[in-house]
Amino acid sequence: VTLAGKLAEFGLDYASLSARHPPLVYCSITGFGSTGPYSSRAGYDVIASAMGGLMAQTGPENGDPVKVGVAMTDLATGLYAHGAILAALRHRDDVTGRGQHVECSLYHTQVSCMIHAVTQFLNGGAKPRRMGTAHTSIVPYQSFSTSDGHVVVGAGNNRQFVDLCRRLDLQHLSEDERYSTNVLRVKHRDGLLATLSERFLQLSTAECLDKFEGATMPYGPIQDIEQVVNDPHTRHHGLIQEVDHPTAGRIRVQGPAVKFSAFEQTIEHAPPLLGQHSAAVLRDWLEMGDEDIRDLTSAGVVETLV
């Protein structure tokens, strides 16, 4: 993430570079975009998530706003940029023959990601509030404490609610007129959740998962990172892989989240060391000679590994 306009000071902005190479597709990521009242501000994930509405909706119902555990605004902006760059390449190759400036910002991304909250407010006047893990319009749809952990369950329709009650030996809830539809379950949220919470506390997480095996409703345990890494489903899909690192030896890294039908995608190289590929990029892509590369290295412009 860069400050808007900063690269122009070095002649590395889109206008300068595209003048020399018109097919260039140039992507910039800033905190708030290149124009507007906040364009000169530095961009950080937590600031964008605060100003873009995410933190106001995240946290316990009667507590303070909290940030998400990982930098989701940063990550989502990268995903938006990835798709936008591919679209710009297709537009260049199929339509104009020229590149363009693809502009992304953390703030734009965060506002865009608040899709259902913004839509509810714009069209219904409803201002979302913090509800912990609960859902504003579906009950139950949240986490519950067990005797030794937590599980998350969701009953998005009547069939799933009946299945949940049966598996928890609470059939009487599904026969109670107060809970016969989701609208009524939302209306009588407090009483229903109190009964469910009491029942979940009587069971361990493993007992809950055993009862829910094959269920129609979605469910799952809340897992820490160690449990995620060692989860058999994680291992089955190659989400953790091993590679050789030039200084650290054999290391484990995260595998790709997307699978392709035409080829197997694996991690072939460890994260590079600083300067590991500088010489190759300068030589193979910019066609610089060894003497020029040595001069840049000696001047401290680039760092290379010999």
Q: Which residues are catalytic?
A: 74
Compute the distance between CA of residue 162 and CA of residue 217 in angstroms, rounded to an integer: 10
Instruction: Report phi then psi at 277, rounded to 5.
Output: -110, 10
Compute the distance between CA of residue 244 and CA of residue 242 in angstroms, rounded to an integer: 7
Report the Cα–Cα distance between both ends of the chain, in Å, rounded: 30
- DSSP helix/strand/coil, 115: helix
Cβ atoms 152, 219 nearer than 8 A: yes
The residues, any chain, with a CB within 8 Å of residue 163's CB and separated by 6 or more, are 155, 215, 216, 217
Name the one residue in this structure whose structure tokens are 């893990």.
133
The residues, any chain, with a CB within 8 Å of residue 82's CB and separated by 6 or more, are none
